[in-house]
A and B are shown apart, each in its own frame.
Chain A
Amino acid sequence: MYLSVKNLSKTYLKRSGFLNTKTSAIHALQDVSFELEKGKCLAIVGESGSGKSTLAKIIMKLLEPDSGSIHILKQDVLNISKQKIKAYRKKIQMIFQDPFSSLNPKFTITQILAEPLEIHKTGTPNQIKAKVSKFIKLVGLSDEDLKRYPHQFSGGQRQRICIARALIIEPDIIVCDEPVSALDVSIQAQILELLKELQKKLNLTYLFITHDLRVVKYIADEMIVLQNGNLVELGAVNQVFKNPKTKYTQTLINSIPGSI
Chain B
Amino acid sequence: MPTESILKVNHLTINPIKQVENKLVNDVSFHLPKAKITCIVGESGSGKSLTALSIVKLLSSQLESSGEIIFNQKKLHELNDKQLRSIRGSEIAMIFQDPMTSLNPVFTVGYQVSEAVLAHHKLTKNEARKVTEKAFTDVGIPADRYDNYPDELSGGQRQRVMIAMAMINKPKLLIADEPTTALDVTVQKQVLDLINNLQKKHQMTVLFITHDFGVVEDIADQVLVMYRGKIVEQGVAKSIIKNPKHPYTKALLKCIPSIHSKKTLQPIDYLKLEREMAKL
Of residues A47, A186, A217, which shows the largest number of chain B Cβ atoms within 10 Å of its Cβ? A186
Of A124-132, A159-167, A247-255, the stretch lying at the interface with chain B is: A247-255
Q: CB-CB contacts of B213-248 with A at 8 A, as 1s and 0s?
A: 111111000000000000000000000010000000
Q: How distant is A58 from chain B, measured CB to nearest CB, in Å?
A: 22
Do the beta carbons of B257 and A192 come within 8 Å of each other? yes
Q: How far is the CA of A184 from the CA of B268 in the complex (A)?
A: 11
A212 interface residue, CB < 8 Å from B?
A: yes
Given A185-B252, A192-B257, A192-B265; A256-B214 close (CB under 8 Å): yes
Given A185-B212, A217-B262, A260-B217; A255-B255 close (CB under 8 Å): no
Do the beta carbons of B211 and A184 come within 8 Å of each other? yes
Interface size on A, residues (CB 8 A): 30
Q: Chain A residues near B189 (CB, 8 Å)? A: 254-255, 257
Do the beta carbons of B218 and A218 come within 8 Å of each other? no
Q: How far is the CA of A252 from the CA of B187 in the complex (A)?
A: 10
Q: How far is the CA of A117 from the CA of B66 in the complex (A)?
A: 53
Do the beta carbons of B266 and A214 come within 8 Å of each other? no
Besides A186-B255, A257-B218, 17 new A-B residue pairs in contact (Cβ under 8 A), listed by A number: A186-B268, A189-B256, A189-B265, A189-B266, A192-B257, A214-B257, A214-B258, A214-B259, A218-B265, A252-B186, A253-B259, A255-B186, A255-B189, A256-B214, A257-B214, A260-B217, A260-B256
Q: How distant is B239 from chain A, measured CB to nearest CB, in Å?
A: 14
Within 8 A of B (CB), among A177-202: 184-190, 192-193
Within 8 A of A (CB), among B247-271: 251-260, 262, 264-268
Do the beta carbons of A260 and B241 come within 8 Å of each other? yes
B28 interface residue, CB < 8 Å from A?
A: no
Q: CB-CB contacts of A193-235 with B at 8 A, as 1s and 0s?
A: 1000000000000000001111101100000000000000000
Q: How distant is B206 from chain A, measured CB to nearest CB, in Å?
A: 16
Q: How far is the CA of A214 from the CA of B217 in the complex (A)?
A: 15
Partner pick for B214 among A186, A192, A214, A253, CB 8 A cutoff: A214
Do the beta carbons of B267 and A258 come within 8 Å of each other? no
A48 interface residue, CB < 8 Å from B?
A: yes
* Closest B residue to A217 using CB positions: B259
Do the beta carbons of A185 and B256 come within 8 Å of each other? yes
